Amino acid sequence: MSTPIDISEQNGVRYLHFGSEWIQGAMRIRRPNALELAYTREMMAPLLLMPANDWPRRILTIGVGAGSICKFIYHNMPSARLTAVEIDAKVVAVAEQYFELPPDDARFEVVIADGVHYLLDTDRQFDLILLDGFDQNARAGALDTTPFYQTCWARLSSRGLLAANLFGRSKGFRESVERLKEAFEGRAVAFPSCDSGNVVAVAARDELAPTDATEMRARAYALKEKSGLDLRPTVSRLEEAGLFAGGHFRI
């Protein structure tokens, strides 16, 4: 697969495009390890659902793009081991050259492979799987199918969570949520749209302990103190959307 790649810069932000107007990644040049795009920040929402002391230890990302999520994890979660799967080696080369993607080491590895095939072929287990793979036409293809989501379920640990970037402008994003629910036995929820184009869905392999808004907001505050990432607005939007049924957020 060969992806057309363009890079643009505006107001101190460098953008990645796959031969179209859609933004596939971004980096604020003065803050290269921060999550510039709203949906990439929202992809970290699983961190609000688990105690931070020992989770997650093993993380898989599918789709490297500009490397924003990889860099955030690498620089802010030193106890985690991260594997990033990207189908196009050229995307990785661009991320390294223009977006400061770190080289492979004991905590971080990039695998050039089709994400579907990688998960089918591996027997590794992950605590967190992050799906953010799109082509130049903003299509996820086989990464947005019930069989693939079922494979993700099988590769998650007992406390495993999945976060998927669903392109909200697509007519099929609600169908994507239904496919996730089918694969995860109903344990999936779409977060309220974080911007005009993207919806993030989170799914759990097994039933999670319920989390109330106070606990989630405390975790968001601790995350902000540690990494600079502020997910308190996410908690507020979950409340406004009525997703704390009975006072607790459940998947």
Residue among 48, 85, 92 at smallest CA distance from 67: 92
Task: Please report the pLDDT score of residue 23 as a whole number.
Answer: 85
Confidence class for position 137, pLDDT limits 50, 70, 90: very low
Residue keyed to tokens 């609000």: 48
Residue 150: per-residue pLDDT? 97
13-17 β-sheet, strand order: 6-10, 13-17, 23-28
Residue 105, Cβ neighbours under 10 Å: how many? Answer: 8
C-alpha 167/C-alpha 62 separation (Å) is 15
* Interval 60-87: pLDDT, tens: 999 999 999 999 999 999 999 999 999 9
How much is the pTM?
Answer: 0.93
Surface-to-core class of residue 158, CB atoms within 10 Å of its CB (0-12 exposed, 13-18 middle, 19+ buried): exposed
Reported as type and span, the H/E element at residue 29 is none
Q: How many CB atoms lie within 10 A of CB 226?
A: 11
| Domain residue extents for the chain | 36-242
Residue 209: the pLDDT is 86
What mean pLDDT value characterizes the chain? Answer: 91
% pLDDT > 70, the chain:
92
> What superfamily does domain 36-242 belong to in CATH?
Vaccinia Virus protein VP39 (3.40.50.150)
114, 132, 135, 144: which one is catalytic? 132
| pLDDT at residue 53, as a whole number | 76
Contact predicate 185/152, CB 8 Å: no
Active site (annotated) includes residue 127: no
